[in-house]
Amino acid sequence: MDPIIDEVAALMREVASREIMPRFRALAEHEVEEKTKGDLVTIADRNSEIWLAPKLEALVPGSRALGEEAVAADPSLLARLDDDTPLWTIDPVDGTGNFVAGRETFGVMISLVTKGEVEKAWIYLPVTEEFALAERGAGAFWQSAGETRRLDAGSPAPGPSDQTASFYVRFMPDDWRGGIEAHAATVGGKTATLCSAWDYTSIARGRHDFVTYYRMLPWDHAPGSLILREAGGVTRDIETGLDYSPRTLKGPHLVARDEESWQRTAERIRSNIAPR
């Protein structure tokens, strides 16, 4: 794999050691704010992004950073998705609500996007010190306890009653919410980590079957979508049938471990929606 894979991974470990883990279960009240109702940000999010952005831009001359907290302060920065300049998406602490609550389900996510395509991806889980890494066309890999293995999402259980899935419908239009909730009622195991870093890596490791999303902000989905695709999985809009793109910011997306099960599950969800 490209040496930049290891360089970015080293930066992620360092920022977690400097800015994130010292504050885990140790945040002061003034170090947590609400960006919007229910959407938290901490000093660890902001400091990590500020530290990472220039270092990532230095790795690829002419590239620019697109971080979650920078866009929260200036939404016009999302327009950077529309040109062909190499772009670093940064989610400095994915699962901030979990981080604030002292839960271990949070991560750091970075991707490198070129001409609207995710070229490289990194997800780091600081508590367990585990990494998911991917390069387009070169596979996805899991690093844990000093060992590296290729990721293979495998195939889900044959029937919904034996499957485990996460159904996020908060931003869904009513018809899609209804269709997904009707299907969710048939699924045997349901979880909600509220953390894309954990959801995508769980599917890529064969530990989870499906996830649904509607709001598709690039720092939340660009890294996981490439890692999962390189592991044999699918992230696709159920309505349009188009594979996920960092330039797509919304739509009822289904994330699945393989193509066949994506098709089966998408059809079940669609069958619950009344014709328009």
Q: Provide DSSP, 189-248.
A: EE---S-HHHHHHHHHTTS--EEEEEE--HHHHHHHHHHHHHTT-EEEETTT-PBP-TT-
Tokens of 158: 């044959």
Q: Tell me: do 169 and 226 sit in the same domain.
A: yes
Q: What are the mean pLDDT values of the chain's consecutive 10-residue runs (276 residues total)?
A: 94 98 97 92 98 98 97 96 96 98 98 97 98 98 96 88 94 95 95 97 96 98 98 97 97 96 95 76
Q: Tell me: do 12 and 107 sit in the same domain.
A: yes
Residue 37 confidence (pLDDT):
84
Distance of alpha carbon 61 from the chain centroid: 25
Residue 276 confidence (pLDDT):
56
Each residue's pLDDT tens digit, 21-47: 999 999 999 999 999 888 999 999 999
Q: Tell me: do 71 and 116 sit in the same domain.
A: yes
Q: Tell me: do 144 and 164 sit in the same domain.
A: no
CATH number, domain with residue 96: 3.30.540.10
Asked, for residue 95, whether it belongs to a domain, the answer is yes
Asked, for residue 276, whether it belongs to a domain, the answer is no
Q: Tell me: do 93 and 50 sit in the same domain.
A: yes
Cβ density class 138-176: b for 16+ within 10 Å, e for less: ebbbbeeeeeeeebbbbebeeebeebbbbbbbeebeeeb
Asked, for residue 204, whether it belongs to a domain, the answer is yes
Q: Tell me: do 217 and 245 sit in the same domain.
A: yes
SS3 167: strand
Asked, for residue 251, whether it belongs to a domain, the answer is yes
Residue 38 confidence (pLDDT):
84
Per the structure, the complete domain to which residue 186 belongs is given by 160-271
Domain closes at, from 109, 130, 150: 150
CA–CA distance, 271 with 93 (Å, rounded to integer)? 37
Q: Tell me: do 133 and 96 sit in the same domain.
A: yes
CB 71 within 8 A of CB 64: no
Each residue's pLDDT tens digit, 142-183: 999 999 999 999 988 788 999 999 999 999 999 999 999 999
Domain closes at, from 150, 171, 189: 150
CA–CA distance, 67 with 16 (Å, rounded to integer)? 16
Q: What is the pTM of this model?
A: 0.96
Residue 11 confidence (pLDDT):
98
Domain count, the chain: 2
Q: Tell me: do 146 and 10 sit in the same domain.
A: yes
Q: Tell me: do 22 and 143 sit in the same domain.
A: yes
Domain closes at, from 123, 150, 177: 150
Q: Tell me: do 35 and 132 sit in the same domain.
A: yes
Instruction: Give the CB-side neighbour count of residue 195, counting CA atoms within 13 A.
Output: 25
CATH number, domain with residue 254: 3.40.190.80
Asked, for residue 240, whether it belongs to a domain, the answer is yes
